[in-house]
Amino acid sequence: MNKKVANRISEILEPTEEQKERMFNSILEKHRNENTKKSGFTLMKRFKPALVAAVLAVFLITTTAFTASYLGLDIKLLNFLNPSSDEQEEYLANGAYIVDKQVKNKNGTLEIKQVIGDSNLTYILMDFTAPKSITLNDDRYRFDSSINGVDSYHGVYSVGFTKLEDENPEDNKISMVMTLNTEQSLVGGKIRLDFKELQGAEDLPKTFKEAAARDSKEYEFKPIIKGTWSTSFKLDFKDYSKTYTPNSKVMVHGHEATLKSIAISPISVTVKFESPYTEEIHNAVPFEQVEYDTYLDKFPVTINYKDGSQETTTYATGMTLGSYSSNTTISIKRFEKVINDKEIKSIEFFDLEIPIIH
C-alpha cells in the first residue's frame, strides 16, 4: 500500500471537521430522501438531535465503505488519477459527483460509482461483479456499449475503458473507468448507457516486434458475459476547466491559423484553432505510428511550469477532430497523471506561447 493510499485511509478513519460536516449532511440527505419516499416525513421531524448524533456515530465507527463514498473521491478513482498534492486531491474530490447506482441481473451486477470531468473529458467509475462461477482475470475489459444520448448534447465523442488495478485478479469482480472525449462539456446532462455484453482481452503488444511474435487473436476482444445493463444518471460533476481565449495568430504545420481557445484542467488540455487551411494542415503531417499502439500527437502542446520544468504531449492520447466545413480543429490531450494546473506558467502551441494567469 503506497503512502498516498495510507494517508487517504487515515483521513477516512479520522475525518476533519469539514469532512464530518459533509458526511453528516450527506447522511441526512440520504435518509431524508429515503424517508420522504416511504412516509412523506423528513428525518429532522422524526429524529431528535441526540438520536441523529448517535446514528452518525454508529456510521462513523462501523461503515468505512459508506463513509468513504461521502468523503469525496472513491479510493479507486483516487489511485487512477494520482493527484500531485493533498490540495489537488481535495479539489478533485469536491468536483466529483457520486452516482451510486446499481443494475443487476442473473449475468452480473453493474455499479456506477462516481463521475468527474471537465469541458471535454468525462470519467465514469464503475464496478462489475460477475456470477461467482466466472473469473474476471483478463488484462483488458470493455462493454459492447452504446450511449443513447446525453441531454442537450449533439456533438462528437469517443469512448474508451480502462481496467483498474485489481487486488484479487482471480475473483469475479473488476473496476473500470469509462472515458468520454467530447467536443463540448457534458456537465449537467443526463446520460443513458446501454451495455449489451462484457468483453475481455489480453494486453496489446507494446512494440512492433512483440506484435510480430504474437498471435493477434490473443489480444482481440472476445465476449465474456452476455447480458444487458441499461441505466441513466445525471452528470452533475464540477467542470474543472478554465478556458483562455487568446484569439492569436499561430503557424500550424506551415499554415496560418488562429488559436481560439485553450481549456486547462487537472485532467486534460484542449486546444481549438481555426484556419482557412484546415485541410492542408491535417494533410501536412499524417498520424505517425511509432509503436504498435502509439501514435505521435499531430498538434502537441508544451506546458511550462513555474519551477522551470516542462512536459509535452508527444503522443496522441485523447481525440482530435478537424472540420473542413467550419475550418475548425479541436484536439484533446490527456496525461498519464493529472497535471498540476495551478502551477502552469505558460502553454506553448507551435510558435505561440500563451501566459497563464491564475
Contact 345, 306 (CB under 8 A): yes
**Residue 114 pLDDT more than 60?**
yes
Residue of 48 and 27 predicted with greater confidence: 27
Across the range 228-253, mean pLDDT stands at 96
pLDDT of residue 138: 96
**Residue 82 pLDDT more than 70?**
yes
**Residue 311 pLDDT more than 60?**
yes
pLDDT of residue 147: 78
Across the range 161-181, mean pLDDT stands at 95
When pLDDT is cut at 50, 70 and 90, the band that residue 24 belongs to is: low
pLDDT of residue 21: 52
| 325-329 own/partner pairs: CB under 8 Å, 24+ apart | 326/274, 327/274, 327/275, 327/276, 327/278, 328/260, 328/272, 328/273, 328/274, 328/278, 329/257, 329/272, 329/273, 329/274, 329/275, 329/278, 329/281, 329/282, 329/299
**Residue 77 pLDDT more than 60?**
yes
pLDDT of residue 150: 84
pLDDT of residue 109: 98
Cα separation of 99 and 116, whole Å?
11
Contact 272, 257 (CB under 8 A): no
Task: List, for residues 115-131, the tens digit of each pLDDT value.
Answer: 999 999 999 999 999 99
Cα separation of 339 and 88, whole Å?
9
Between 66-75, 244-253, 263-272, 347-356, the lowest mean confidence (pLDDT) is in 66-75
pLDDT of residue 12: 46
Residue 308 CA: distances (Å) to CA of 305, 311, 333, 346? 5, 10, 21, 11
When pLDDT is cut at 50, 70 and 90, the band that residue 30 belongs to is: low
Across the range 162-179, mean pLDDT stands at 95
When pLDDT is cut at 50, 70 and 90, the band that residue 20 belongs to is: low
Q: Where are the beta strands (DSSP E) in the chain?
A: 97-105, 108-117, 121-129, 140-150, 157-163, 173-182, 190-201, 222-234, 242-244, 248-252, 255-264, 268-274, 289-291, 294-295, 302-305, 310-312, 319-323, 328-334, 344-349, 352-355
Which amino acid does the sequence have at 92?
Answer: L
**Residue 47 pLDDT more than 80?**
no
Q: Share the mean pLDDT of the chain.
A: 84
Residue of 188 and 40 predicted with greater confidence: 188
**Residue 175 pLDDT more than 60?**
yes
**Residue 39 pLDDT more than 90?**
no
> Is the pTM higher than 0.75?
yes
Task: List, for residues 191-215, the tens digit of each pLDDT value.
Answer: 999 999 999 999 999 999 999 999 9
pLDDT of residue 203: 95
Across the range 148-174, mean pLDDT stands at 88
Query: All 3 cell numbers of residue 290?
Result: 511509432
